[in-house]
Structure 1
């Protein structure tokens, strides 16, 4: 049995779906099972990462665990990894695959976003269960936040729009997770994951414009203006500051291309243009 936390999100739901396709026994953890929409083969269980007792019940009979944690949330969010790792150890789980972030390749964190995930990795390492970390960078699905302004105004507003990153399709992250969860030889490994090409936001928008067959302008917003707007929209300060730091890291790890997707799945990673073509209706 494989338990998936964060099972209703964009990566977790893909992991569940792809595990079903691989004919694995899947259990999905959610706070609200009645609202979950999964294939009938999926066992849906109620659980809360802040409740160790609910996690012990959810982990009963589980051999492998895909741990996808909320990046930020309640103040006690930093204890979620500890709760889950300890419950997994007590339940006799044989493998934890934790979704982390690309910046966790560094030993030290200089932003809250990376520090959160490094803390989570440490909790998993110290619990005694064999572990594997998947460390993706920017998600291609972040581009969906442009949909409304593209449809209504024909432009995209972003800071650092000229800086290249190598965004990855969340479906590819899920495919990597499924590969690790259904095969051996990954204990103690940390896999950096990226898409197949480094693209600036300007270049990503151009790909969307190509598949739409229309022109889209890019407005390069000053970082302090973007920060104020995102905070005003209700995003947590530590998340905003972490994202801005990584977006502005012109020569950093987020602009590098890694072979992890092909290494783990045996096929090339999805390109941004392929992703945009598959999701073109969202921008119309």
Structure 2
């Protein structure tokens, strides 16, 4: 049965893949975006609908007629986005929401800004009046794309706690789980822990990339002070502190556990980092 699905975050890492899957299965996709013109130029697919998550006004009209809603919001400094979307979706008669969250919410030791925000968002959707599914993902394998410039230039890949394992997940696997949760019955009230098939460290990722590219690559360990300086040039202080705390938990082994939820929901094994890397080698060459 064809459904109408609204995607908040259609231009994002998971949202772009999700819209493609939904369209391929014959569903009607409302791709919510602040700027439909820019989204079209970037290749975002679906029916582009103007939506400003900063403002509640107009959002109900943007999701009008949708059977289900996917939500990926990315600003822990401004929690209003989920509040506005929840109010609008309920008013528009949306029945089910799939919310992209983070696996750190299940870790009692994770009390950083981003994780607290994700927990608050989950609680908001649980009390929204709609049925819900949470996708609690580990770090995306695609985060490694930030290294592409250094790799192409022949420089070192510099990370904090490069020895620390992380059961990172392919965003395409997260999108596949989202597509099922949005369009197939049986996922309401479920929270899925989404990881890759094995925990890998940044050093191991660099070594695998080196082998695929057939040239030497070097990993360089950042001190915490160096990481602070780098992140402070890009992010506000509260978010920088959250990143440092998160990196510390990874160094303590808190992000190494592997789950089978990708397999349970999609029927196929999660993508290994090496497979993901081979698919993206052109970015690093």
> Which runs of 4 or more aligned residues in structure 1 lie more than 4 Å from their structure 2 counterparts after TM superposition?
38-41
User: 1:36 pairs with 34, 39, 59, which one?
Assistant: 39
Distance 1:248 1:215 in 2: 28
Distance 2:43 2:261 in 1: 28
Name the structure 2 match of 1:164: 165
Give ranges in structure 2 of 5+ residues lacking alignment. Answer: none
SS of the equivalent of 2:57 reads helix
User: 2:8 pairs with 5, 16, 26, which one?
Assistant: 5
Distance 1:106 1:128 in 2: 26
- 1:251 positional shift: 4.1
Name the structure 1 match of 2:217: 216
SS of the equivalent of 2:152 reads helix
- 1:201 positional shift: 0.6
TM-score by length of 2: 0.93
- 1:40 positional shift: 9.9
Name the structure 2 match of 1:239: 239
- 1:258 positional shift: 1.0
Distance 1:167 1:241 in 2: 21
User: 2:60 pairs with 17, 40, 56, which one?
Assistant: 56
- 1:240 positional shift: 2.6
Where do residues 92-103 of structure 1 align in structure 2 (5 Å cutoff)?
A: 92-103=93-104
1:108/1:159 Cα in 2 relative to 1: closer, same or farther (>3 Å)?
A: closer
1:107/1:92 Cα in 2 relative to 1: closer, same or farther (>3 Å)?
A: farther
User: 2:74 pairs with 58, 67, 70, which one?
Assistant: 70
1:256/1:71 Cα in 2 relative to 1: closer, same or farther (>3 Å)?
A: farther
1:252/1:28 Cα in 2 relative to 1: closer, same or farther (>3 Å)?
A: same
1:203/1:40 Cα in 2 relative to 1: closer, same or farther (>3 Å)?
A: closer
Name the structure 1 match of 2:153: 152
Where do residues 1-284 of structure 1 align in structure 2 (5 Å cutoff)?
A: 1-37=4-40, 42-72=46-76, 77-106=78-107, 109-232=110-233, 234-249=234-249, 250-284=251-285
SS of the equivalent of 2:94 reads coil
SS of the equivalent of 2:79 reads helix
Supply the RMSD in Å over aligned alpha carbons.
Answer: 1.7
Q: Is the 8 A contact 1:169 1:275 kept in 2?
A: yes
1:180/1:229 Cα in 2 relative to 1: closer, same or farther (>3 Å)?
A: same
- 1:64 positional shift: 0.2
Distance 1:28 1:46 in 2: 8
1:108/1:208 Cα in 2 relative to 1: closer, same or farther (>3 Å)?
A: closer
TM-score by length of 1: 0.94
Q: Deviations over 1:232-264 (max 9, x none)?
A: 2x2233333223322222344421111111111
